[in-house]
Amino acid sequence: MAPTLIYIFGGTGDLAHRKLIPALFNLYIDGYLPGPFTIVGVGRSKIEESTYRAQMRKSIKEFARRSELTTKYWSKFSKNITFQTHDLNSDKSYKEMAAGWKAFQEEHGKESQIIFYLSVAPQLAPVIAKRLHGHRLCHDPKRSRMVFEKPFGHDLASAQELNVMLGKLFREEQIYRIDHFLGKETVQNILALRFANALFEPIWNANYIDHVQITAAETVSIESRGSYYESSGALRDMVQNHVLQMLCMVAMEAPISFEADEIRNKKLDVLQALRHMRPEDVHRYAVRGQYGPGWSKGKKAAGYRQEKAVDPQSNVETFAAVKFYVDNWRWKDVPFYVRTGKTLAAKETLITVQFRPAPDYAFPDEAAHTWRPNRLVIGIAPKMDIRLRFQAKQPGPSMTLRPVDMVFSYASRDEEDCQPEAYETLLQDVIEGNPTLFMRADQVEAAWKAIQPIMEVWGHKPPVDFPNYTPGSWGPEDAEALIARDGFNWATLPEV
């Protein structure tokens, strides 16, 4: 790998502390960072390099997957970390960075590459892009890349505008739009499960699959991110990106190769096949919720409207459930139910594929009580496993049945420790120049397009019942009704 200079814009921020620097540390331990590399944290804060390093060491101790190795590797790793105070609106900063890049190349050779990770508020992205271009910091498409954090745009129009602007300044292959869910082992494993096994693909269609569910539930509130959440909400924050990407992995056609564009084309096909919702139908397909005050783990918990930096009259949703249809041959009339929310009953992200019920004519009437359709449940996080539910005969003289789970688990503690964190996988891909797991411009826009009608209707019609769920519940009653109307109920993981 070529010598690499990595600028982390927002180097003093939450993401850099909790995810980026710990991920780079783990990549270093595993030998995945290039020979010579330098990480430059950037922020407006005036801090000394030694202070910054000390802060990063603390973050690694607290958040890195193998924090116990901090002492062993820190002194070597930290030699590659530095900090620079810059205002990213100011030209002067980019002049200094251009000088830094020139010096890096002089020291390490012309093959060196430069990466800018924009871990800053999305409003800064356009000005940063213009300045990077103006100062020729990304003029070589083979040796310079930019990583854009989510949210990429605020709606379809703003995402298009940003894409057009970036398209004028850079090549698409330099632009890495990150969706960290795609870096998760369990999400990537969906491709292996579907396309490396002869078992599933022949029945992976509307003839055999009844419906699909995706749950991305969090137990935490919005915590200290009130100002961000007020301009976002559950639909923008989770559905537009992570949830729809998981849906694409389940619904996409088999790729003919694992080339970046081949995978991305197949996913784009799914997004483009999502049934368009007419405004008058949105209430039948989508449900929103907001948590009120209540109790969480025996302690009083504030409602969303009482959180810091939140408008006491806010109508922003902290829960969203949507029924999608993928209008193509494979998925004709198969509903995809998705839900996501804050302060819910359990922290779990899972995908449930429910197969059509088998005919039960031959079995005695008692069997009907325990008759369950087959289900494939893919635990994405924090539980990482795959469960196949099937019917088995209960031991004894009569033909009574019971559902049993066959489980593949990444469970042993040791194995879990070996799993790279999503940000490790993704940062390694950026360094190696592999965009497969990143969103292309057209994918991002197609995802915004899919939820645009919901955003518009919700934006125009204030909710009449907010707050409508309590912390520790599974969200508003309407979300239960959304799926119950079709004769199903939301799946959760079995409690251990």
Binding-site residue ranges for NADP(+): 44, 87-88, 150
Q: Does 44 bind ligand NAP (CB under 6 A)?
A: yes
Q: What does the alpha-carbon distance between residue 493 and residue 496 come to, in Å, rounded to a whole number?
A: 9
Of positions 120, 147, 320, 437, contacts ligand NAP by CB under 6 A: 120
Q: Does 445 bind ligand NAP (CB under 6 A)?
A: no
Closest CA to 186 of 437, 346, 352, 382: 382
Residue whose Cβ sits closest to ligand NAP: 13
From the candidates 242, 276, 369, 460, give the one annotated as an active-site residue. 242
Contact 23, 128 (CB under 8 A): no
Contact 239, 320 (CB under 8 A): yes
Q: Around Cβ 473, how many Cβ atoms within 10 Å? A: 17
DSSP three-state, residue 455: helix
Q: Does 177 bind ligand NAP (CB under 6 A)?
A: no
Residues in the chain: 496
Q: Does 335 bind ligand NAP (CB under 6 A)?
A: no
Q: What does the alpha-carbon distance between residue 3 and residue 20 come to, in Å, rounded to a whole number?
A: 19
Residues numbered 352 to 391 that lie near ligand NAP (CB under 6 A) are none
Please indicate whether residue 135 is annotated as part of the active site: no
8 burial level (CB within 10 Å; 0-12, 13-18, 19+): buried
Q: Is residue 471 reached through a cis peptide bond, with omega within 30 degrees of 0 on the bond before it?
A: no
Q: How far is the CB of 166 from ligand NAP (least distance, A)?
A: 16
Q: Which residues contact 481 (CB under 8 A, 6 or more apart)?
A: 287
Of positions 86, 242, 383, 440, contacts ligand NAP by CB under 6 A: 86
Q: Which helix (H) or strand (E) holds 133?
A: helix 125-134
For ligand NAP, which stretch binds (CB under 6 A), given 8-16, 261-269, 325-333, 387-395?
A: 8-16
For ligand NAP, which stretch binds (CB under 6 A), given 38-46, 279-287, 369-377, 394-402?
A: 38-46
Q: Does 183 bind ligand NAP (CB under 6 A)?
A: no
For ligand NAP, which stretch binds (CB under 6 A), given 120-128, 340-348, 447-455, 464-472?
A: 120-128
Q: Around Cβ 415, how many Cβ atoms within 10 Å? A: 11
Q: How big is the chain by its Cα radius of gyration, in Å? A: 24
Of positions 2, 3, 13, 349, contacts ligand NAP by CB under 6 A: 13
Q: Around Cβ 279, how many Cβ atoms within 10 Å? A: 12
Binding mask 90-119 for ligand NAP (x = CB under 6 A): -----------------------------x
Which residue shows structure tokens 């939820």? 451
Binding mask 123-162 for ligand NAP (x = CB under 6 A): --------------------------xx------------
Q: Does 308 bind ligand NAP (CB under 6 A)?
A: no
For ligand NAP, which stretch binds (CB under 6 A), given 36-44, 74-82, 96-104, 107-115?
A: 36-44
User: Which residues contribute to the site for ligand NAP (CB under 6 A)?
Assistant: 10-15, 42-45, 86-89, 119-122, 149-150
